[in-house]
Amino acid sequence: MKQPLVSPVNSQDSSELQEMKDFYNETLGFTPNSLFTMMHRPRISNAFLEMNLAVMENKGRVTSSLKRELAYLSSHATGCRYCEAHTIRAAERYGSTADRLAHIWDYKTSDLFSEGERAVFDLAIAASLVPNAVTDEIAEEMRQHWDEGEIVEIMGVIALFGYLNRWNDSMGTQLEDPAAEDAEKHLSVKGWNRGKHQY
């Protein structure tokens, strides 16, 4: 794209942005351009923030780092380079090790990942495809390792990033430099680049 579909609002324009800035400064170290784009309709950005807070809240065994890792796999499956960069940065910030990030695509065989995590990653990829590729086998494997509340948390992350993947790829949201630097560090060996998100 030659330019984003919609330009972000000026980050200094609204006091309504403070809660968002606080949340995203913790998770990413900056407020994403996607939120500033949503601010053209503050009710959408406020609803999105509340959904994000609810989905990323930890209720048990589904850790913050696991949520970001599965969000990365989901974003990769849909092809959103913007969200791939954000999720790999957030995964590292929330405790994913360099080894896990380097071998995440070897999750089916690497001893860095448990059987329960393999089930989550299979679900994340299958649920992110169009048409949807979740099978009885994937569902049963999830039930073997996770309770219903945990599965809801996991699906919440996948669905949240389904929204973000479509938003950012369609908008052509400009990727912020800190996220791009982390993506280049962790993902360039897999062919990642900024794609349409660089202007």
Looking at the domain 59-193, which fold is it? AhpD-like (1.20.1290)
**What is the spatial distance between Cα 52 and Cα 156, in angstroms, rounded to a whole number?**
9
**What is the spatial distance between Cα 37 and Cα 107, in angstroms, rounded to a whole number?**
35
pLDDT for res 14? 59
Higher-pLDDT residue of 108, 20: 108
pLDDT for res 22? 83
CB distance 38 to 8 below 8 Å: no
pLDDT for res 15? 63
Please tell me the pTM assigned to this model.
Answer: 0.94
Helix spans in the chain (H): 18-27, 33-38, 42-56, 64-78, 81-93, 98-102, 115-128, 136-145, 148-171, 177-187
10 pLDDT band (50/70/90 cuts)? confident
pLDDT for res 107? 98
Give the residue among 76, 34, 37, 81 at the shortest CA–CA distance from 180.
81
Reduced to 3 states (helix: H, G, I; strand: E, B; else coil), residue 17 is: helix
